[in-house]
Amino acid sequence: MPKERRGTSRKKRTREHVIADLGVHHVEGAILRCGFTAERTVYDYGLDLYMTTYGPDGEAESDGVLFQFKATDHLVFTADRSAVIVRVGRADLNRWLAEIYPVILVIYDARSDVGYWL
């Protein structure tokens, strides 16, 4: 493998990239254990994952569920710890509200390996 030239740098995989993938992986596992399928979106425009559900006979059901993930190492709770606080952009919210299928927002706490959803 050739050495890098002095003064050049490569793209780096950041902690944010790692925990974002861990958040999706966390939910994918639950989806697969239910016998459903999960497809990651290639281009992230406010939606990260599409879930297809199947009936008792194994036939795909006609509707799906969409997921958007936000991952963090620094989860913030309300004072009484009854809810997670997260800032959501207006453009994302408008996109989700316009969807025909339900959109589940998952806040993934990478330190605890826990996902909170709405």
**Domain at 57, CATH number:** 3.40.1350
Q: Is the pLDDT of residue 5 over 70?
A: no
Q: Is the pLDDT of residue 107 over 70?
A: yes
What is the model's pTM?
A: 0.84
* Total domains present in the chain: 1
The band of 61, judged by pLDDT with boundaries at 50, 70 and 90, is very high
- Determine the structural domain holding residue 87 and report its residue range: 15-117
Residues with Cβ within 8 Å of residue 51, at least 6 apart in sequence: 31, 36, 37, 38, 39, 64, 65, 66, 67
Based on the number of CB atoms within 10 Å of its own CB, is 77 exposed (0-12), middle (13-18) or buried (19 or more)? exposed
The band of 7, judged by pLDDT with boundaries at 50, 70 and 90, is low
Q: Is the pLDDT of residue 1 over 90?
A: no
What percent of the chain shows pLDDT beyond 70?
Answer: 93
pLDDT mean across residues, the chain: 91
pLDDT at 9: 85
Q: Is residue 112 part of a domain?
A: yes
Distances (CA, A) of 66 to 9, 12, 85: 36, 29, 21
Based on the number of CB atoms within 10 Å of its own CB, is 56 exposed (0-12), middle (13-18) or buried (19 or more)? exposed
Q: Is residue 83 part of a domain?
A: yes
Based on the number of CB atoms within 10 Å of its own CB, is 23 exposed (0-12), middle (13-18) or buried (19 or more)? buried
Q: Is residue 28 part of a domain?
A: yes
pLDDT at 45: 76
Distances (CA, A) of 100 to 1, 16, 93, 106: 49, 30, 14, 18
Q: Is residue 31 part of a domain?
A: yes
Q: Is residue 5 part of a domain?
A: no
pLDDT at 96: 92
